[in-house]
Amino acid sequence: MTTVGRLRALSDAQLSEIPNIGPKAIADIAAALATPGLTPDDPLHAIASPTTSDRGRQILAMRQSGATLAGIARHVRVSPERVRQILEQSR
């Protein structure tokens, strides 16, 4: 799948069959596909968020204030490894 049009053609049921795609991801995809100006021929990277997410900003702020990876992970309900990955992506 390489275009917005192909992604739009998939139902929620079809999306949920893709590994690691759950209800939150499906909602995020639907919100991204609602972006004004997208055409079916646009590449998928056209819907990728170029900015850090709200959760990413929260994690970064917590880390900068001295919180540990484990403490942040408990707060945002992800693994410490995922927190590390998000911090790495925000650099």
Same domain, yes or no, for 41 and 65? no
Share of the chain above pLDDT 70, in %: 96
Residues 18 and 41 in one domain: yes
Helices (H), 1-91: 4-8, 12-16, 23-33, 54-64, 69-76, 80-89
pLDDT tens per residue, range 46-69: 787 555 577 888 999 999 999 999
Do 28 and 62 have their domain in common?
no
What pLDDT does residue 51 have? 55
Q: Is the same domain home to 42 and 61? A: no
Q: pTM of the predicted model, to two decimals?
A: 0.52
Across 15-32, average pLDDT: 90
CA dihedral 87, 88, 89, 91 (to 10 degrees): 90
